Structure 1
Amino acid sequence: MERFTLREAAAWTQGEATGDAELTGISTDSRQIGENTLFVPICGERFDAHDFIRKAIDNGAAAVVSHRENETYRVPALHVKNTAQALLDLAGGYRDKCGGKVVGVTGSVGKTTTKELLYAVLREHFHAQKTEGNLNNEIGLPLTLFTMTRKTEVLVAEMGMNHFGEISRMTAAAKPDLAVITNIGTSHIEFLGSREGICKAKLEILEGLKPGGCAVLCGDEPLLWEKRAALPCSVVTYGIENHACSLIAHLHEDGTFDIVNNSLPCDTLPVGRKFTASLSLPGAHNVLNALAAAAVGLLMGETPEEIARGLASYEASGMRQNIYERDGFTIFADCYNASPDAMEATIKVLGTMSAGGRRFAVLGSMLELGAYAKEGHQRAGRAAAQFADALYAYGPDADEMVAGAKERGMENAFAFSDQRALADALRRDAQPGDALLFKGSRGMQMERALALFLGEDVEE
């Protein structure tokens, strides 16, 4: 982190500093205090970290932020109206101090994969950084911005949300030069009311665009396509089905795809020209994510060779879209999260797997769907009936997934309320040569069901 002073922090937050200090770190955890660190206490639902200010000072904090009135501390302090907003304001000021460009990424489905693909592409030409893990909320986004230095040429910043206003506050701090919206799905529809509401919340990312900034939108998403002309910034679109997009892809049977410049303004790929790329990730939905990364790369002056090399270098790992062989089975682990749109796209990929064996869709319930829960889970069941040979559903909405599958004629559709029972049934029914997809919302912990199926030790 670049050095800054408490006086600078006061200007960024419009707060009042008592004393000054030179700082090279910011922490929201009183237990993780390094040298020259500013401690920023955040109020949570179950605790107020202001109660740990003195502990942070004991641990070596050089200065603290506080919105408690009439409290004094034995180190310099920055008094603000609200520490959560101050954290964002600090990040915004620090982002300006470092310079460099920021690419903001949001969307209902695919934003994390798109973030990773953007980073893979941009690091081919730039000193690039990215959001790590799930630091994509109003605390994680500032912490990501604080990782920038003057050497950072571009930062890829993921922004997630559950409610209106969250992305608005994050983008005000991030001040992106380019803002990518991958799609408008049904994630968090419980809080946002409708897909129109979700679209409105996602478009908040454009509020923080730097002057001359550009929106990079998926043109295969009708809600984004119809709003493009009314947006107060330049717009670039990408798509597979919508051939009027600025950048499009033509898919080949061998898994490669051509990226064609219809009208995207760039110097390295003239309009009408194309280049071929490939991905280790399966599915047309991931080609869309790759197109977003390609569009940003071209806008930032990268060559087709650099973009193709970056896309080919990306490898999935962990709980996201990880496909591997184990004990004769093809395992497709995508357990990090789920929504009806993502579930349907992933089940469609399962349909392309295991030509010689059967395909098992092992699906956990999807959360935060509100009134759309019944239809969303039945939709997943119908997709399973179309692209899989058997459905093993787990969680509070498992019966709805089974109902959707049986509506489309699938006989081998079963609901479970216990993961051990599910794993036992899978071990009985699945045979080497079969392909198994494990997917569900994070709260369903479908990686646990996978571990049980593989005979691994699992904590109760």
Structure 2
Amino acid sequence: MIKTWQIKEFADAVSGKIIKDNGKNISGFSIDSRKITPDCMYIAIKGENHNGHKFCESAAEAGAGALLVSELSFNCEKGDVSVILVEDTVTALQKAANYYRNSLKNTVFIGVTGSNGKTTTRSMIYHLLSDDSLCSMTKGNFNNHIGLPLTLLETNPKSDYAIIEMGMNHRNEITELCKIANPDAAVISNVGPAHIGILGTLENIARAKSEIIEGLNTIGNIAVFPSDTEFTHIFEQAGKKCKLVSFGESNSSEFKITDIISSADNTKFCVSWKTDKYKCLLNVPGRHNAFNAVAALALCSSLAPQKIEKFIKRLESYAPVSARMEKIIKDGVTIILDCYNANPASMKEALRYLSDCDSNLKIAVIGDMRELGEVSEEYHRILGKQASDASLDYLLCLGDDVKYTVAEALNNGMPANRAIKLNSETETAELLRGKLQKGSTVLFKASRGMHFENIVQKIWPDLGKNLH
């Protein structure tokens, strides 16, 4: 269920001019003319290399009920479609989202960010809260200045909670997202070197993440942050007016994690809160997922302290998000799809998980980590050392900067026939196909732009199609 808009209401919300009104209400929004639903509004976005106005007529023909445009470079009389003219369609989209968000007085909006794990943490929060509450959340990776407003506009007006993911790769980006989403509570999953090529230092990354705390809309709102970092003072400074809740292995953590045991199938850990200690089971592998789970648990338990035991039990039924440490068994081979994103911290955890697997043959298929800038070579070499220490049978690398990964793996003792730099998806798939046997475990890990699902599909055509 989503809100339906009258044309005049929408035009007033975005300070737009109605060029044409077909009398129909707007139901849904799309920025892609190929994904039009009946009576939705097609938003024509104009960028440096793309102009969505070229597709206005095709959107109308596909059944769009309205067009939001910043130019009239098309035949607006064509089709039974309303037309609203604005100065800038992205700004108008953001205005509409903020207008709608502020109308939802009974919905608690939760903002989630972090260098790693924000999508997993977001989906865990949704899983915990949705057991007895109506929840909405970000779909896929709609977490930027365009995706976040679209997420807000699709929030069910009857939702008790809306979990909103916020991505960033530069300072002040989260500040601007908070102005749109106006969050009531916030979670920072962690701070790592993702986007360090743009932001320069880990401290700058921490400051950029802290913008979500500064962006909370009311004094006393909850802000959850990681304590296992040298930048806690940044979060504490940002949250002077908030109820700060820390989590991690540090003794200072309000939600303290201990006794983490990760196996091929699950992760067991304990969490201490106040005077109690709880045993937790997460049926998702990976030590890092214990931290994601406790971040979610800290947020949910701070909102509803009386439900902590219920939340802990609910964790057991959590299933991973597609292509994020997603475990699939096919033809006797265990496939770990973690090819949605990659940075130094998440790579380290993925290799640690693969190393701990009880498997006849362990293969890591690794791609470039993007947006590392001047320190890219350094981090890819560190990855090579980590791979050589991970008891792998094969390290297969595809990309540009992974040449440093292979070089460092060789320098640290991996044989040349086991640490291999490859040049194409086809070559990688063919080599991998020849190595796989029953009982093997293969990890696919790379930044999203590497499109590693293509390699997966060359070997298993029915897998890897639903990355989001």
- TM > 0.5: yes
Q: Distance in 2 between matches of 1:454 and 1:35?
A: 35
Within the candidate set 245, 248, 251, 1:243 is matched to: 251
Amino acid in structure 2 at the alignment position of 1:131: T
Deviation at 1:150, TM superposition (A): 2.5
Local SS of the residue matching 1:203: helix
Deviations 1:166-205 (A, max 9, x none): 3222221111111111122222222222223322332232
8 Å Cα contact 2:280-2:312 kept in structure 1: yes
Q: Does 1:374 align with 2:377?
A: yes
Change in 2 beyond 3 A, CA 1:137/1:433: same
Deviation at 1:286, TM superposition (A): 0.5
Q: Distance in 1 between matches of 2:242 and 2:361?
A: 47
Deviation at 1:455, TM superposition (A): 8.6
Give the length in aligned residue pairs: 448
Deviations 1:69-94 (A, max 9, x none): 89996676544332111101101111
Local SS of the residue matching 1:387: coil
- Larger CA deviation: 190-199 vs 20-29: 20-29
Local SS of the residue matching 2:244: strand
Q: Does 1:104 align with 2:100?
A: no
8 Å Cα contact 1:173-1:208 kept in structure 2: no
Change in 2 beyond 3 A, CA 1:147/1:65: same
* 1:1-150 correspondence to structure 2 within 5 Å: 1-15=2-16, 22-30=25-33, 32-34=35-37, 36-57=39-60, 61-68=64-71, 77-99=83-105, 100-150=107-157
Amino acid in structure 1 at the alignment position of 2:46: C
Change in 2 beyond 3 A, CA 1:380/1:123: same
Amino acid in structure 1 at the alignment position of 2:255: L
8 Å Cα contact 2:172-2:208 kept in structure 1: yes
Deviation at 1:120, TM superposition (A): 0.9
Change in 2 beyond 3 A, CA 1:57/1:414: closer
Deviations 1:292-315 (A, max 9, x none): 110111122161232123311111
Amino acid in structure 1 at the alignment position of 2:253: C
Q: Distance in 2 between matches of 1:101 and 1:301?
A: 12
- Counterpart of 1:343 in structure 2 is 347
8 Å Cα contact 2:222-2:302 kept in structure 1: no
- Larger CA deviation: 8-17 vs 247-256: 8-17
Amino acid in structure 1 at the alignment position of 2:283: S
Change in 2 beyond 3 A, CA 1:400/1:16: same
TM-score by length of 1: 0.87
8 Å Cα contact 2:136-2:156 kept in structure 1: no
Deviation at 1:317, TM superposition (A): 5.3
Deviation at 1:60, TM superposition (A): 5.3
Q: Distance in 2 between matches of 1:418 and 1:71?
A: 42
* 1:322-333 correspondence to structure 2 within 5 Å: 322-333=326-337
- Counterpart of 2:362 in structure 1 is 359
Q: Does 1:170 align with 2:182?
A: no
5+ residue gaps, structure 2, are none
Identity fraction in percent: 33
Change in 2 beyond 3 A, CA 1:40/1:450: closer
Q: Distance in 2 between matches of 1:429 and 1:71?
A: 55
8 Å Cα contact 1:88-1:170 kept in structure 2: no
- Counterpart of 2:452 in structure 1 is 446
TM-score by length of 2: 0.86
Q: Distance in 2 between matches of 1:291 and 1:434?
A: 31
Amino acid in structure 1 at the alignment position of 2:183: P
Within the candidate set 320, 331, 342, 1:316 is matched to: 320
Q: Distance in 2 between matches of 1:429 and 1:150?
A: 52
Q: Distance in 1 between matches of 2:456 and 2:463?
A: 11
Q: Distance in 2 between matches of 1:166 and 1:333?
A: 29
Change in 2 beyond 3 A, CA 1:428/1:79: closer
CA RMSD of aligned residues (A): 3.0
- Larger CA deviation: 176-185 vs 204-213: 204-213
8 Å Cα contact 2:260-2:287 kept in structure 1: no
Q: Distance in 2 between matches of 1:52 and 1:84?
A: 16
Deviations 1:27-61 (A, max 9, x none): 33445555554443211332222344455455555
Deviation at 1:217, TM superposition (A): 0.9
Amino acid in structure 2 at the alignment position of 1:410: M
Change in 2 beyond 3 A, CA 1:10/1:374: same
Within the candidate set 406, 412, 418, 1:408 is matched to: 412
Within the candidate set 187, 206, 222, 1:199 is matched to: 206
Amino acid in structure 1 at the alignment position of 2:171: F
- Larger CA deviation: 20-29 vs 359-368: 20-29
Within the candidate set 224, 228, 247, 1:220 is matched to: 228
- Counterpart of 2:390 in structure 1 is 387
Q: Does 1:273 align with 2:276?
A: yes
Amino acid in structure 2 at the alignment position of 1:46: N
Amino acid in structure 1 at the alignment position of 2:377: K
- Counterpart of 1:266 in structure 2 is none
Amino acid in structure 1 at the alignment position of 2:4: R
5+ residue gaps, structure 1, are 262-270
Q: Does 1:298 align with 2:301?
A: yes
Deviation at 1:129, TM superposition (A): 1.6
- Larger CA deviation: 227-236 vs 60-69: 60-69
Amino acid in structure 2 at the alignment position of 1:234: C
Q: Distance in 2 between matches of 1:458 and 1:250?
A: 34
Amino acid in structure 2 at the alignment position of 1:322: E
8 Å Cα contact 1:172-1:207 kept in structure 2: no
